[in-house]
Amino acid sequence: MQLGLVGLGRMGGNMRERLRAAGHEVIGFDRNPGVSDTASLAELAEKLAAPRAVWLMVPAQYTEATVDGLIEVLSPGDIVIDGGNSRFSDDLPRAEKLDQHGIGYIDVGVSGGIWGRENGYGLMVGGDEQHVERLMPIFDALKPAGEFGFVHAGPVGAGHYAKMVHNGIEYGLMHAYAEGYELLTASELVTNVPGVFKSWREGTVVRSWLLDLLDRALDEDPELADLSGYTEDTGEGRWTVDEAVRLGVPLNVITASLFARFVSRQDDSPAMKAVSALRQQFGGHAVRKN
Amino acid sequence: MQLGLVGLGRMGGNMRERLRAAGHEVIGFDRNPGVSDTASLAELAEKLAAPRAVWLMVPAQYTEATVDGLIEVLSPGDIVIDGGNSRFSDDLPRAEKLDQHGIGYIDVGVSGGIWGRENGYGLMVGGDEQHVERLMPIFDALKPAGEFGFVHAGPVGAGHYAKMVHNGIEYGLMHAYAEGYELLTASELVTNVPGVFKSWREGTVVRSWLLDLLDRALDEDPELADLSGYTEDTGEGRWTVDEAVRLGVPLNVITASLFARFVSRQDDSPAMKAVSALRQQFGGHAVRKN
Amino acid sequence: MQLGLVGLGRMGGNMRERLRAAGHEVIGFDRNPGVSDTASLAELAEKLAAPRAVWLMVPAQYTEATVDGLIEVLSPGDIVIDGGNSRFSDDLPRAEKLDQHGIGYIDVGVSGGIWGRENGYGLMVGGDEQHVERLMPIFDALKPAGEFGFVHAGPVGAGHYAKMVHNGIEYGLMHAYAEGYELLTASELVTNVPGVFKSWREGTVVRSWLLDLLDRALDEDPELADLSGYTEDTGEGRWTVDEAVRLGVPLNVITASLFARFVSRQDDSPAMKAVSALRQQFGGHAVRKN
Amino acid sequence: MQLGLVGLGRMGGNMRERLRAAGHEVIGFDRNPGVSDTASLAELAEKLAAPRAVWLMVPAQYTEATVDGLIEVLSPGDIVIDGGNSRFSDDLPRAEKLDQHGIGYIDVGVSGGIWGRENGYGLMVGGDEQHVERLMPIFDALKPAGEFGFVHAGPVGAGHYAKMVHNGIEYGLMHAYAEGYELLTASELVTNVPGVFKSWREGTVVRSWLLDLLDRALDEDPELADLSGYTEDTGEGRWTVDEAVRLGVPLNVITASLFARFVSRQDDSPAMKAVSALRQQFGGHAVRKN
C-alpha cells in the first residue's frame, strides 16, 4: 500500500527501505532535502491518494508541530501514525485534536534500534480497531517474519505505554547483566570474564539478545577499556518511574537502574559529601578533602 | 568415555540420558535403588576403569559427605567433578582434601534446568587445565550443540563462582520483567497484557529465553491467577549479595530482587509496623489495626 | 497582629490556640459552624482590618477553591498564606492569579503534627521578602521558642518545596529505624529489643525525635502487635521522587521507603507472581498456588 | 571501682578521662608509652586487685591477640570487657575461650564518637547478668547522665549485635538527610539550603542529633565545597547487610546506603561501562569514550 513517512533519520530511513523491499510505495519527507522524496508536507499530501496514511518518525520534540502541519494538508478520512518516542500521555490529546478534523490517529511503539531493518521491528500499537486494520499491511512489513513482534495493545496511547514499559524493563535487564559483569571483574577467581559471558549465550537461563550484544561488545573490547561509564537516559525510563509513583507500583529494580545512570553522570555526589561531612562531625573520621 | 554419576534426581537423571544418547558409558549411583545402576559407591568405583571420573549431582548439603565416601573408594589419578549447587568457597578446601589422596577436582556450574536434557546445559568450569581437558568429551556431550554453552572460567572454584553470578543476574532479569508485568497490569490503558509480552518475543530489545517462558506461562494462565507471589530463594542469590558486600561492589538491582523474595514470604512486615507506629505517634494518622 | 485563619481542623485549630496564647487576634472560619468564628469568608474579610492577612489551613484539594473564594472578598494589599500541603508547583500559578487582584501570596510548609501546639511548628516559607516581613509576628508565635524552626527558603513555592523534601527525608529516616527494628526482632541474640531502642535515646549517633516516638510506641505495645504494616502515603513522598526523576537526582533511599509503603498495601504482588511463574517454567520449582 | 583499660586511642583515652572524673581508678595500658600507665599487660594485671575487670578498647584486628595476652596474666574470677568494634559472631567463641580459664566476658557496643567524653556514651551490653551487675558502676559513669543510654541487650554477643544494627540505622539516617540535601541543592526554587537545614533543628519531624551535626558542617562550609564525596565504610554496615541476607530480612534502605559508599569510591563504574556498551550495540547511541 501507499504510505507517507515523515522523518528519514536513522530509524525512519531504515524503515523506508524495509517497507519498499516489501513492495510498499513509500513517499518520504524530511527537512534534509538530501534524503527527502518531497519538498514539503503539502507536496507529500498531494502525492498520496486519499484516504492517506502518514507515519511520523520524528524526534519527540517536533511531533506536535509536525502534526499541526499535517492538519493543514490532510483531509477527513486520513490517518496519522506516530511511531516516535512520544510520551503516552500526549497521545489522547493529539488524537482528539486530529479527530476534530476527521483525521484518525494511531500510536506505535517501535523497538529494534539499528537492527530493525534486517530483523524487523517490534511494534506495539494503540488505537481504534478500524484504523489498526487499515495499517496492517504496513505493520506486517515492518515486523519480524515470525509469529511475534506485533501487538494491538489497546486504545490510543497503549502503544507508547507498552513501549515505555518495554524500555523500563530494558533498563533493568541491562543493569542486571552490568552488575554481574562488575562482580565478575572484581572476583579474584574468575580469570576469563568475557568467556563466561560468551558461554552463557546457549543453554543457560540468562540467554537473551542483550547478552548476545554484550558478548559482541566484549569481543571488540574485552575490558571495555575504551568506554566511559557516563550514560544518558532518553525519557522512557523516567516516565516508567513516574507511572510507578502515580499508580503506586513498587519498581525497585527499574528505578535503581535509572538512578545508576544519574549517578554515572556526576563528577562528585552532593549526597556523599553530606555523608562525609556527617562522618567527620560525629566521629572525627578522616575524610577526603577536595 | 566412561563416567560415574552420583545423584540421579531431576537433574542427574536427565544428564545421564543426554550423555548416554551421546554414546558415553554412564554408571549411576543414587540412594534410591529404583533409579541406581549400582548398589553403593564402592560398587560404582569397582565398575569404573581407572583413572576414574565421578560426577556429583547431589543436593549441596550432601556433597561433602559424598566426597568423603568417594575418598574411601577412589584411587590416585581419579577425578571428582562437582556439578551441584555448591558455594564456590567450599571448592578449594574440597580440592585440597582430595588432592591429599591424589584425586583431582573440578567444579562445574550447570544451568538449564529441566530444559537441559533437550537443549543442552550451560557449563561453567573451574579447575586445572589438565583435569578439564580429560573431561572435555563429557562437557561436549552435555553442552548445547552450538559454539556456546561452555567456559573454563578459571581455577578451582571459578565454575561455581560464575554460576553464582549467573543466578544473581537471573534474579535481576526475572524481576525486571516482573516489574514491567505489574506496571502493565496496573495501567488503565493497556488492555492486552499477555499480548504485549508475546509480541516482545521478536524484534525487540528485551527478547530472551526468560521472556519466552513468561509468554508460555501467560498462555497457560493469562492473569497468573493460580499462582501465589510467595517465592523461595535457593542460595546463589544470597551468596551473590554476600560477595558484593565482601568486594565492595554495588549490586542494587540484584539485591532488590533478592529482598523482594524475602518480602514475598512475609505475612506482615515488622518494618512497616514500625513505620505505622511512628506515623501514629507524630501525626495522629489513623493507622490500620490488626 | 490580626490574622484570618481558614480551616480549623486538627492543625488549624491547634494553631489558632497557639497564636491566641501569644496575644494575636485570630478570626477563624471553618465549614463546621461548631468551631468557626464567622459564618462565611465574606464575614471573615469584613471583620479583618485592611491590609488583611488570611492563612489557609485546608486540605490540599480545597485550597484552589478557597483561594478563588477569597479573591471575591479580599482587596489589593491583602496577603493570602497557604500553610496546607500544596504541591510546590501549584504555588506560582496561584500567586500569579492573586497578583492580578493585587493580593500577595506566601507558601508555608508546616511541620510538627499534633505536637506543634505545645512545641511550636517548624515553618518553611516561600515568597517575597516584603510579604514575609509583614507576617513575621505570626511566624514568631507559631515557631518553637528557640533559635530554630523558621526559614525563608526562597521565592514563592520554596516553602512547600522545602516541606516536600523534609517529608521525603522523613520517609527515609522512618524506614531506616524500621529496618533496624525488623533485623533486631529477627535476631536470635538480642532478647530486649524495646530496651535497645530506649537506650539509644541518649549518647548515640541515632538519637532523634523520631526515635523518642518509636520508644514511646514500644512502651505502649512492645511487639507492635496491635498494628498492621499497611501504610498510607500522603503525597509529599511521591512528589519528592517525581522531582528526583525530573532533576536527575538519585534518591535510592527515599524511593525505597516510598515503594515499601506501596508493597505494604498489596495482598499479593503481581510482580512476584510473575517471578513464581518463571521459576516454575524453567526450573520445575515447586511454587505456591493460590 | 578499679578498672584496667587496654587501648588509649581517641576513644579509650576519652573514656579514661570520663571514668576518672567520675571517681573510678583507671589503670591504662597502650602500646604507645606516651599515654600508657603501665609497661605491659603483665604489669597491668599486677596493679589490679583480684577479681579484676579489664576493658579492651583496641582496633578490632588486635582484639583476639590482646585477649590471648590477657589470658596469660589474668586469673579465674576476672572479667574481660570488649568495647571495641568486634563482629558479634566473634564474641561467643571468645567468651568460651576465656571461660576455659575461668574468666568472664562481656561485649559492649559503644556509641557517641568524639562527643562521648562530654555527653556520655551510648552502651549496648551483652553477657551474663552477674557479670553485667559487677560492671554497673563503670557503665553508670560512661553512659549519659539521663535515664537512657544503657541497655543489657541479651547474652554474650548481643551488645555488639545491637551496636551493629545501630550503625546500620545510622547509615540509613545519614543517607536520607544526604539525599534531601542533594535534591535541595538541585532545585531551582530553594535559595537558602543551609538555612532550611538549620530551621529543621526544632519543631520538625526530622530533628535529630545528626541534623544538628549537618547544620554545624554547613555553618563551617555552606556548600561542602572542601569535602570529597569519597566515603569509607567501617564494617558494621557490611555486617548488617550480611545478617539481613542470612536471616531473610529485606533491608533496602540500609543496603542502598552502603552501596552508595561503594559507588563513591569508584573512579568509573564497570557496570555502567557495560550499560554503555549495550546502548552502543543495540541503538547506535553515541556513548562517551575514555
B197-253 pLDDT, tens digit each: 999 999 999 999 999 999 999 999 999 999 999 999 989 999 999 999 999 999 999
Residues A199 and A170 both lie in one domain: yes
Task: Indicate yes or no: CB of A191 within 8 angstroms of CB of B153.
Answer: yes
Give every residue of chain A whose pLDDT is below 50, as ranges: none
Q: Do D52 and D38 form a contact (C-beta atoms < 8 A)? A: no
Residues D18 and D133 both lie in one domain: yes
For B247, which residue in chain D has the nearest alpha carbon?
Answer: D262
Candidate from A246, A252, A262 with C-beta closest to C259: A252
Burial B131-141 (b: 16+ CB within 10 A, else e): bbebbebbbeb
Confidence at residue B114, expressed as pLDDT on a 0 to 100 scale = 83
**End-of-domain residue from the set C110, C128, C154:** C154
CA distance A259 to A251: 12
Strands B104-111 and B122-126, how do they pair?
Answer: antiparallel
Confidence at residue D115, expressed as pLDDT on a 0 to 100 scale = 87
What global pTM score does this model have?
A: 0.96
Query: Closest by alpha carbon to A142, among A10, A279, A281, A14?
Result: A14
Residues D175 and D227 both lie in one domain: yes
Task: Indicate yes or no: CB of B252 within 8 angstroms of CB of D265.
Answer: no
Q: Number of Cβ pairs closer than 8 Å across A and C?
A: 44
Residues of D with Cβ-Cβ distance to C125 under 8 angstroms: none
CA distance D248 to B262: 6
Beta-carbon neighbour count of residue A38 at 10 Å?
19
Q: Within a domain: residue A281?
A: no
* pLDDT tens column, B122-149: 999 999 999 999 999 999 999 999 999 9
Task: Indicate yes or no: CB of A184 within 8 angstroms of CB of B165.
Answer: yes
Residue A135 sits in a domain of what CATH number?
3.40.50.720
Query: Closest by alpha carbon to A115, among A209, A198, A178?
Result: A209
Residues of B with Cβ-Cβ distance to C233 under 8 angstroms: none
3-class SS string, chain D: CEEEEECCCHHHHHHHHHHHHCCCEEEEECCCCCCCCCCCHHHHHHHCCCCCEEEECCCHHHHHHHHHHHHHHCCCCCEEEECCCCCHHHHHHHHHHHHCCCCEEEEEEEECHHHHHHHCCEEEEECCHHHHHHHHHHHHHHCCCCCCCEEEEECCCHHHHHHHHHHHHHHHHHHHHHHHHHHHHHCCCCCCHHHHHHHCCCCCCCCEHHHHHHHHHHHHCCCCCCECCCCCCCCHHHHHHHHHHHHCCCCHHHHHHHHHHHHHCCCCCHHHHHHHHHHHHHHCCCCCEC
**End-of-domain residue from the set A137, A154, A171:** A154
Residues of D with Cβ-Cβ distance to B245 under 8 angstroms: 238, 241-242, 245, 258
Residues C138 and C233 both lie in one domain: no
Residue C231: HSE in the Cβ half-sphere, 13 Å Cα cutoff: 30
Residues B98 and B115 both lie in one domain: yes
Mean pLDDT calculated for residue range C251-264:
98
Mean pLDDT in chain A? 96
Residues B113 and B188 both lie in one domain: no
For A247, which residue in chain C has the nearest alpha carbon?
Answer: C262
Q: Within a domain: residue A278?
A: no
Query: Closest by alpha carbon to A120, among A99, A140, A137?
Result: A140
- Helix (H/G/I), strand (E/B), else coil: C120: coil
Q: Within a domain: residue D285?
A: no
- Helix (H/G/I), strand (E/B), else coil: B122: strand
Query: Closest by alpha carbon to A261, among C200, C61, D278?
Result: D278
Residues of A with Cβ-Cβ distance to D185 under 8 angstroms: 270
Q: Chains with ≥3 Cβ pairs under 8 A against C?
A: A, B, D
Q: Within a domain: residue D280?
A: no
Residues A130 and A27 both lie in one domain: yes
- Helix (H/G/I), strand (E/B), else coil: A156: coil
Confidence at residue D234, expressed as pLDDT on a 0 to 100 scale = 86
Q: Within a domain: residue C39?
A: yes
Residues D184 and D237 both lie in one domain: yes
Task: Indicate yes or no: CB of A241 within 8 angstroms of CB of C241.
Answer: yes
Beta-carbon neighbour count of residue C85 at 10 Å?
21
Q: Tell me, rounded to whole angstroms, the distance of Cα B245 from its chain centroid.
A: 21
Mean pLDDT in chain D? 96
For A205, which residue in chain C has the nearest alpha carbon?
Answer: C282
Q: Do D215 and D201 form a contact (C-beta atoms < 8 A)? A: yes
Task: Indicate yes or no: CB of A153 within 8 angstroms of CB of B182.
Answer: no
Q: Do B120 and B149 form a contact (C-beta atoms < 8 A)? A: yes
Residue B235: HSE in the Cβ half-sphere, 13 Å Cα cutoff: 13
Q: What percent of chain B has pLDDT over 90?
A: 95
Confidence at residue A42, expressed as pLDDT on a 0 to 100 scale = 98
Task: Indicate yes or no: CB of A238 within 8 angstroms of CB of C245.
Answer: yes
Residues C75 and C201 both lie in one domain: no
CA distance A244 to A88: 14
Quote the cell numbers at residue C72.
Answer: 471575591
Mean pLDDT calculated for residue range B102-123:
94
Q: Within a domain: residue D28?
A: yes
Q: How would you class C108 by CB atoms within 10 Å of its CB: exposed for 0-12, middle for 13-18, buried for 19 or more?
A: buried
Task: Indicate yes or no: CB of D253 within 8 angstroms of CB of C249.
Answer: no
Cα of C250 to nearest chain A Cα, Å: 5
CA distance C39 to D199: 36
Q: How would you class A61 by CB atoms within 10 Å of its CB: exposed for 0-12, middle for 13-18, buried for 19 or more?
A: exposed
Which residues of C form the catalytic set? 163, 170
Query: Closest by alpha carbon to A278, among D211, C273, C242, C134?
Result: D211
Terminal-residue alpha carbon distance, chain B: 64
Quote the cell numbers at residue D210.
Answer: 545528626
Confidence at residue D137, expressed as pLDDT on a 0 to 100 scale = 98
* pLDDT tens column, B160-189: 999 999 999 999 999 999 999 999 999 999
How does residue C112 score in pLDDT terms, banded at 50, 70 and 90?
confident
| Catalytic annotation present for B236 | no
Q: Within a domain: residue B169?
A: yes
**End-of-domain residue from the set D103, D133, D154:** D154
Confidence at residue A289, expressed as pLDDT on a 0 to 100 scale = 78
Q: Number of Cβ pairs closer than 8 Å across B and C?
A: 210
Q: Within a domain: residue C20?
A: yes
| Residues belonging to chain D with any Cβ–Cβ distance to chain B shorter than 8 Å | 205, 238, 241-242, 244-246, 248-252, 255-256, 258-260, 262-263, 265, 271, 282
Q: Do A171 and A257 form a contact (C-beta atoms < 8 A)? A: yes
Instruction: Identify residue D202 by its one-letter amino acid code.
Output: E
Q: Number of Cβ pairs closer than 8 Å across A and D?
A: 210
Task: Indicate yes or no: CB of A183 within 8 angstroms of CB of B165.
Answer: yes
Residues B29 and B122 both lie in one domain: yes
| pLDDT score of B115 more than 90 | no
Residue C131: HSE in the Cβ half-sphere, 13 Å Cα cutoff: 27
- Residue C118, C-beta contacts closer than 8 angstroms, at least 6 positions apart: none
Quote the cell numbers at residue D154.
Answer: 541479651
Candidate from D158, D189, D249 with C-beta closest to C186: D249
- Torsion (CA) A264, A267, A271, A274 in degrees, nearest 10: 160
Residue D211 sits in a domain of what CATH number?
1.10.1040.10
Quote the cell numbers at residue C240.
Answer: 519528592
Give the strands of the sheet with C25-29, arranged side by side.
C25-29, C2-6, C53-56, C79-82, C104-111, C122-126, C150-154
Task: Indicate yes or no: CB of D153 within 8 angstroms of CB of C196.
Answer: yes
| Catalytic annotation present for A163 | yes
Q: How would you class A127 by CB atoms within 10 Å of its CB: exposed for 0-12, middle for 13-18, buried for 19 or more?
A: buried
Quote the cell numbers at residue A168.
Answer: 523500563
Instruction: Identify residue A116 by its one-letter amino acid code.
Output: G
Residues D12 and D149 both lie in one domain: yes
Q: Which residue has the higher pLDDT, A105 or B289?
A: A105
Number of domains, chain D: 2
Which backbone phi and psi does B112 adopt, to 5 degrees?
A: 130, -20
State the helix-helix crossing angle for A270-283 and D252-264, rounded to 10 degrees: 100
For B244, which residue in chain D has the nearest alpha carbon?
Answer: D259
Query: Closest by alpha carbon to D35, among D66, D54, D18, D14?
Result: D14
Confidence at residue D286, expressed as pLDDT on a 0 to 100 scale = 66
How does residue C286 score in pLDDT terms, banded at 50, 70 and 90?
low
Task: Indicate yes or no: CB of A246 within 8 angstroms of CB of C238.
Answer: yes
CA distance C161 to C243: 10
Quote the cell numbers at residue D206.
Answer: 526530622
Query: Closest by alpha carbon to C153, among C124, C123, C111?
Result: C124
Residues A120 and A45 both lie in one domain: yes
Query: Closest by alpha carbon to B64, among B38, B111, B97, B31?
Result: B97
Confidence at residue D57, expressed as pLDDT on a 0 to 100 scale = 97
What's the sign of the alpha-carbon dihedral D16, D18, D20, D26? Answer: negative
Confidence at residue B286, expressed as pLDDT on a 0 to 100 scale = 66
Beta-carbon neighbour count of residue B151 at 10 Å?
27
Residues of B with Cβ-Cβ distance to C113 under 8 angstroms: 282-284
Q: How would you class C286 by CB atoms within 10 Å of its CB: exposed for 0-12, middle for 13-18, buried for 19 or more?
A: exposed
Range(s) of the domain holding residue A31: 2-154
Q: Do C194 and C181 form a contact (C-beta atoms < 8 A)? A: no
Residues of C with Cβ-Cβ distance to D250 under 8 angstroms: 179
Residues of D with Cβ-Cβ distance to A184 under 8 angstroms: none
Average pLDDT per consecutive 10 residues, chain D (290 residues; last block may be shorter): 96 97 98 96 98 97 97 98 97 98 98 89 98 98 96 98 98 98 97 98 97 97 95 94 98 98 96 96 77
CA distance C132 to C106: 7
| pLDDT score of B18 more than 80 | yes
Which backbone phi and psi does C5 adopt, to 5 degrees?
A: -130, 115
Residue B3: HSE in the Cβ half-sphere, 13 Å Cα cutoff: 29
